[in-house]
Amino acid sequence: MVQFNLTVMHQRTPPSPLEISAKFSTHTKK
């Protein structure tokens, strides 16, 4: 979860809800 937050902060861009969902899904699946 921390890594996911870091990635978003590193991007410095408001990721779309779809992207967040996709990334979250991948993390949860892993």
| C-beta separation of 29 from 10 below 8 A | no
Any residues with CB less than 8 A from the CB of 25 and at least 6 apart, and which?
none
The predicted model scores a pTM of: 0.29
Residue % of the chain over a pLDDT of 90: 0
Does residue 23 carry a pLDDT above 60? yes
- Of 6 and 19, the structure prediction assigns the larger pLDDT to 19
Question: Domain map of the chain by residue range?
Answer: 1-30
* pLDDT above 70: residue 14: no
The mean pLDDT of 7-23, rounded to a whole number, is: 67
- pLDDT band, residue 24 (cuts 50/70/90): confident
